Chain A
């Protein structure tokens, strides 16, 4: 058995049925292995998008996804996607071909030191120099990616190792033994009791749910907990969907770009329970202000606790396990009127932002889209104003909201949506993007077509890099520099080139009709909504 055949066997043992990739010489032996296997290969148009597509696939299948690239530029192109997955804790196994092991370090054609280059963007990396190490490396890679705080793992394999014959018989290990990695954390019962006590003393407790809740499949149990004890909840951008938007205990997204009433709720709370969130700067810009109240920080990653803020009580563990234990604790929240108080705050908070009545109001667009989408629709938001308008206005029901909250990588939405649709065929999926972000990955529309994925893409087009423009407006007296995209490309031609139905919407009056037509179109479709460049997020 060759190394490449062993790699395929490992993927099969992990239940992998599909990989996203882009071949090259240094990974060619593996592709020969793929040729003889049942694993489907999705050819992307640029390696970064193999990573993003795998990210969308992993998030929707809730399993580790695989991307494959060749050495050198193929591998370095992938790095941005690895950094994105790392920031958002998405479980990926990335396989990169490498130059022959005898040539390592000699700067030969298409050699890049991938272990070195990705060190701060992956949970772990392997450079496999012996084909007999392949089974162990794969087993460990999948284990590390999918346990504890999830994240990407890189396996770099020189081409001669892929071609070489295994000396030992192939055995896929059943168990993993890594001395320095013990992700199973026994929950500290004393800390758990302290959490329950603090909740009992609290009159205005507030849960702040982050992406970790979704990553640990903890949505249901958090809802159950909030409902049982009548505790209101706010969430981060990555935590959208932990609770439906219209749930009476959901007080919206907090942070710089969140709802003012969500931030007021944080201000009024006497106890903040941060769950699966890392107290990031966009969510809580001044963590030192929080220390005036009690903070419980629950996370799977010990290092997140105390990184940006010293909590009153830290609790490390798997969220689902923590909350199933907490549900059995004697907890009675003192103030039964706290959620009602917040409801008043919510209604008293007036949105004073003004929006242009020229063209399409992005808020109306997202709100109308929300009403029309299926309850379990997948909404993939890109990065920029489109993302913030989406997060602000999308009425989440039982679907998913996929975006890159941590790294903020433009161009994420189209490849991620393709991956998401492949994981959940038949589930309604829209990618909402800006004209800047769209152009970063529009080449993937070919991947979409070639794989018969019928994605709906909605572009908020304002001919600008809107969020940077907004920043220059606020901080640099409107000295707009390098943000004008111009009225290019011709989107009707792009749609035609990629075999998509094409729609345009220039006014609020047309939103309804255009969305109906787009969503009922059996084919892939592109809807370009013109948005006034003067519209701002804040």
Chain B
């Protein structure tokens, strides 16, 4: 199963490494990890997604809670929260594929940030599943580079 954790942590040095180290030490997977400051400079927010059986997901929550620098752990479900991921990608094109790539972008709602002679730099954000779909759609054109933010999530 999938676990989505929204975690508030102290915004101090070493906290990210402590949290990620916890996953490494206990053999938990991190599928995605997104971190940023909140409106309070002393607190950072992390969204961590992971997959594992029920016991693993329960343990992740408990172990996160045990960490002194972790202020609050919330477990989110896809059904009752908004999950978004953003990607930046450079996709190559030729004279023959150009219009169909533009069409694909329009269809999906991706933004063309830059059109260079040989590639387009695209920005796309959506729920993680739609992001996967978009990547599959543009893959045939030739992905030169891709950057993903990882999932960020918030309860509705």
Interface residues of A (CB under 8 A from B): 115-116, 119-120, 123-124, 127, 144, 178-181, 301-303, 305-307, 310
Contact = CB atoms under 8 A, between A and B. Distances in A.
B45 to A, nearest CB: 14
Interface string B56-89: 0011001101111111100000000000000000
B14 interface: yes
Q: Which 4 residue pairs of A and B lie closest in terms of their CB atoms, listed nearest first?
A: A303-B62, A124-B68, A179-B71, A180-B71
A180 B69 contact: yes
**Interface residue range, chain B:** 20 to 34
Given A180-B67, A180-B69, A181-B68, A120 B25 contact: yes
B39 to A, nearest CB: 16
Contacts of A119: 17-18, 21
Contacts of B21: 119-120
A301 B17 CA distance: 23
A306 B59 contact: yes
A144 B68 contact: yes
- Dominant SS among interface residues on chain B: helix
Contacts of A310: 55
Contact of B62 (A178, A180, A181, A302): A302
B35 to A, nearest CB: 16
A302 B59 CA distance: 9
A181 B10 CA distance: 11
Contact of B66 (A115, A120, A127, A303): A303
A128 B67 CA distance: 19
A367 to B, nearest CB: 41
Contacts of B55: 306, 310
29 contacts: A116-B14, A116-B17, A119-B17, A119-B21, A120-B25, A123-B68, A124-B68, A178-B68, A179-B10, A179-B71, A180-B9, A180-B10, A180-B67, A180-B68, A180-B70, A181-B68, A301-B66, A302-B62, A302-B66, A303-B59, A303-B62, A303-B63, A303-B66, A306-B55, A306-B59, A306-B62, A307-B59, A307-B62, A310-B55
Contacts of B72: 180
A303 B65 contact: yes
Nearest to B60: A303
Point out which of B17, B21, B62 has the most chain A C-beta atoms below 10 A from its C-beta: B62
A123 B69 CA distance: 11
A515 B14 CA distance: 53
Given A180-B9, A305-B62, 6 more contacts: A116-B17, A127-B14, A302-B62, A303-B59, A306-B55, A306-B59
B76 to A, nearest CB: 19
Nearest to B58: A306
Contacts, number: 41
Contacts of B70: 180
Contacts of B9: 180
B57 to A, nearest CB: 11
A303 B69 CA distance: 16
A307 B26 CA distance: 11
A179 to B, nearest CB: 5
Contacts of A120: 21, 25
A115 B65 contact: no
A302 B68 contact: no
A436 to B, nearest CB: 29
B70 to A, nearest CB: 5
A127 B14 CA distance: 10
Nearest to A149: B66
B65 A302 contact: yes
Contacts of B58: 306
Nearest to A120: B25
A295 B95 CA distance: 69
B31 to A, nearest CB: 21
Contacts of B10: 179-180
Contacts of A305: 62
A199 B148 CA distance: 53
A158 to B, nearest CB: 14
Contacts of A115: 14
A116 B24 CA distance: 14
A305 B58 CA distance: 10
Interface string B19-42: 001000100000000000000000
Contacts of B63: 303
B66 to A, nearest CB: 5
Contacts of A144: 68
A303 B58 CA distance: 9
Contacts of A307: 59, 62
A119 B25 CA distance: 10
Contacts of A303: 59, 62-63, 65-66
A178 B66 CA distance: 13
A509 to B, nearest CB: 52
A117 to B, nearest CB: 11
A120 B66 CA distance: 12
Of A119, A301, A303, A310, the most chain B CB neighbours within 10 A belong to: A303
Contacts of B71: 179-180
Q: From B18, B58, B63, B66, name the one whose CB has the most chain A CB atoms within 10 angstroms.
A: B66
A114 to B, nearest CB: 11
Nearest to A309: B55
A310 B55 CA distance: 8
A115 B25 CA distance: 15
A407 to B, nearest CB: 15
A119 B70 CA distance: 15
A180 B11 CA distance: 12
Identify which of A115, A123, A180, A307 gathers the most chain B CB atoms within 10 Å of its CB. A180
B1 to A, nearest CB: 15
Nearest to B67: A180
Contacts of A124: 68
A127 B67 CA distance: 17
A499 B59 CA distance: 52
A179 B72 CA distance: 9
Contacts of B67: 180
Nearest to A304: B62
Contacts of B68: 123-124, 144, 178, 180-181
A301 to B, nearest CB: 7
